[in-house]
Structure 1
Amino acid sequence: MPSFVVQRNGQAASATELAPLAFAGYAHFTAMQVRGSRIRGLDLHLDRLRSASVELFGRALPHDRVRTLLRKALEAGPADLSLTATVYSSAGEFTAADTDLEPELLVRTGPAADGPQGPLSLAVVEHERVLPAVKHVGEVAKTYLLRQAVGQGFDDAAFVDHRGRLSEGTIWNLAFWDGTAVVWPEAEMLIGTTMAIVRRQLDLLGVPQRVQEVTPADLPRLAGAVVMNSWTPGVSVHRIGTVPMPEAPSFQEVLHQAWHAEPRTAP
């Protein structure tokens, strides 16, 4: 059974169909890790695709249709894999909106991934994403800033906005620990599905959490930091800019407990 498939609207995509999409930059997506043919936070992924489609295209595919296409892709691969679902319009880029066209769905699968072990060091870079609430494609700045950070001796980059607030990483959400509560940065950002899963499970577990502005000047008063995305609920961060961050094993434990409390569901 192959570990990688590419399907367009539920059918194997041909090179001719994929060619116009190779470098297209007007689309959005969601990425997930599938284990045992099941997905954590499936409802969050579906809601993300719906809201982003309405924002970009003025209409969205029904949840049932998306679930059918995800299920078809999963049936073509192993039980454990990575999956990316990208929504785009055949109208393409640099055209006026055409809301008469139904969005199309491209599903790609590949080998399962768990992310880096960490701990990571993050350069602090001033950057604000366009349409930060949408997980959209064509974001050259994220790769560029990652590579700039690595060239400076860091592992990755964390963004600060024009007000000096930490927001998110290149492909990560940020989370902090004050010793007893999880602290989520307040800024314009993409709310990741892993972040949303952890937040709702922390509520159920009774773990304190809050949202507040976090600037680089606030970091010395915090007791830990992590990054998270679809790979993992928490990779430890040991330095942000010039500020060392303490190890926080209890923070990691809390985040992983919340993550594993979320049931996996089948599309």
Structure 2
Amino acid sequence: MSIEASTYQAHINGHPATLSELIPVAFAGFAHFTAMQVRDRKIKGLDLHLNRLREASREFFGRTLPDDQLLSYIKTAVDAGPKDQSLTVSVFSRSGEFTGASMDVEPTVLVRTGAPSHGPAGPLRLSAVNHERPLAEIKHVGEVGKTYYLHQAIRQGFDDAAFIDRQGRLSEATIWNLVFWDNETVIWPKAAMLKGTMMGIVQRQLDHLNIPQRHEAITLERFRKLSGAAVMNSWTPGIAVTAIASTVIAEAKPFIELLHEAYAAEPANQL
């Protein structure tokens, strides 16, 4: 039986996924992934996605898959859907989790596609939660904390949640990177976090635009003295943040425009 719908499609190792293949994936908590937006069958930052998959596979499984192989799986999925779509590449072991059999195995690749996304309009108000993600530098599955703290934030009247580490530094938000502005310099948090592919795109294009950048430990006290804040992920290069916990700052529209300008300057890769 092939799993295919008008909105979502799933491929495993380059062929339409069958029900028997997808059942184990539903319980696969030991896996890593990357998510991207496809526009006109093109992808921005494709090199960053491939690097993420390569490094995480080496860490999780002790081996990597060739870039050409991953690209062929991605292209197959893109060609099977509309020209604009969301796409997620997950890498997992058929041996599952909680077993030594998942060590040093040939990873399996699930590519899932769906409707394109642009993220919420914003601005967003974030709660502040003391939380450090395990293996923060890897984009991995099974993190119930992110959804749990999102739900808690909404119940408290916020839109989402930002994380604070044990040193009191803001690191990231549930599914977002954080970025700040002091009217001159783009400031990235100095803390353990996932370096997003959107973050990588924006950073290198800001360099090309000669916009100064730096990394800094951002506490809530430091946050209230800044001129702007935003979140970003594969959906969008920037959504304004106007509050973290009880600290409120102005919506920095020129800053958001700058982040979008940087993303627009990134060339898209034709598969």
Q: So what's the TM-score if we normalise by structure 1?
A: 0.98
For residues 97 and 123 of structure 1, what CA distance do their matches in structure 2 show? 40
Which among 189, 195, 200 is matched to residue 204 of structure 2? 200
Which residue number corresponds to residue 224 of structure 1? 228
Q: Which moved more, 1:93-102 or 1:28-37?
A: 93-102
For residues 244 and 141 of structure 2, what CA distance do their matches in structure 1 show? 26
**What runs of 5+ residues in structure 1 fail to find an aligned partner?**
none
The answer on 1:162 being equivalent to 2:163 is no
- When residues 100 and 57 of structure 1 are mapped into structure 2, their CA distance, relative to the original with a 3 A threshold, is closer
Which residue number corresponds to residue 85 of structure 1? 89
Which among 48, 57, 79 is matched to residue 44 of structure 1? 48
Residue-by-residue CA offset, 1:144-173 (whole Å, 9 max, x unaligned): 010001111100000000000000000000
Q: What amino acid is the match of 1:259?
A: Y
Q: How many residues align?
A: 267
Provide the secondary structure at the position in 1 that maps to 2:87. Answer: strand
Which residue number corresponds to residue 128 of structure 1? 132
In the TM superposition, residue 96 of structure 1 has moved relative to its aligned partner by: 1.1
For residues 109 and 120 of structure 1, what CA distance do their matches in structure 2 show? 27
Residue-by-residue CA offset, 1:87-140 (whole Å, 9 max, x unaligned): 001121011155552111000000001000001000000000000000000000
Contact persistence 2:170–2:217 (CA under 8 A): yes
The answer on 1:234 being equivalent to 2:238 is yes
Which among 243, 253, 260 is matched to residue 256 of structure 1? 260
For residues 91 and 6 of structure 1, what CA distance do their matches in structure 2 show? 20
For residues 89 and 115 of structure 1, what CA distance do their matches in structure 2 show? 30
- When residues 130 and 100 of structure 1 are mapped into structure 2, their CA distance, relative to the original with a 3 A threshold, is closer
For residues 3 and 205 of structure 1, what CA distance do their matches in structure 2 show? 38
Which residue number corresponds to residue 142 of structure 2? 138
Which residue number corresponds to residue 213 of structure 1? 217
Provide the secondary structure at the position in 2 that maps to 1:221. Answer: coil
Provide the secondary structure at the position in 1 that maps to 2:65. Answer: coil
Contact persistence 2:34–2:53 (CA under 8 A): yes
Which residue number corresponds to residue 11 of structure 1? 15
The answer on 1:244 being equivalent to 2:248 is yes
Contact persistence 1:85–1:106 (CA under 8 A): yes
In percent, how many aligned pairs have the same letter?
A: 56
Q: So what's the TM-score if we normalise by structure 2?
A: 0.96
The answer on 1:101 being equivalent to 2:120 is no
Superposition RMSD in Å = 1.1
For residues 87 and 60 of structure 1, what CA distance do their matches in structure 2 show? 10
Residue-by-residue CA offset, 1:53-73 (whole Å, 9 max, x unaligned): 000000011100000000000
In the TM superposition, residue 48 of structure 1 has moved relative to its aligned partner by: 0.2
**What runs of 5+ residues in structure 2 fail to find an aligned partner?**
none
